Amino acid sequence: MVRRLRLPPGEAMPWGRDPFQRVAVILRSDLLSIEYRDGGESQRVEITPGQVECEEPGARVLWAVISGETTLRASHGFPSRSSRRGSAADRGTGFESRQSSPCDMIAV
């Protein structure tokens, strides 16, 4: 599944958790702030077009505020349910532990 996101400066994503691993591709933006509902220290994150990030699941409730001067445009890719479980053909063969995650495909 792929989700596209577009938020102008000053706008925020709704409060939520990141329950799934995902790959984010930044198409346009410059700066965002991540704030935590539990009152933890917020983070300012500089981002650039073309940046690709692997985002791991997390239990903390957060939101991201577009704090730069450029509208955020991004695409998030989520693995399908079958790829998170391993394919049916591999179950019971020992290959399920070798399934790659979407983050394994990102060149470092």
pLDDT in tens, 31-56: 999 999 999 899 999 999 999 999 88
pLDDT recorded at residue 94: 47
> Shortest CA distance to 26 belongs to which of 2, 4, 57, 42?
4
Distance from C-alpha of 11 to C-alpha of 29, rounded to nearest angstrom: 13
User: Which residue spans within 1-108 are E strands per DSSP?
Assistant: 2-7, 16-18, 22-28, 31-36, 43-46, 52-55, 58-66, 72-77
Domain boundaries along the sequence of the chain: 2-80
What radius of gyration, in Å, describes the C-alpha atoms of the chain? 16
Whether residue 85 has pLDDT greater than 70: no
CATH class, range 2-80: mainly beta
**In the chain, % of residues over pLDDT 90:** 56
Q: Is the pTM of this model over 0.75?
A: no
Rounded average pLDDT over 76-92? 60
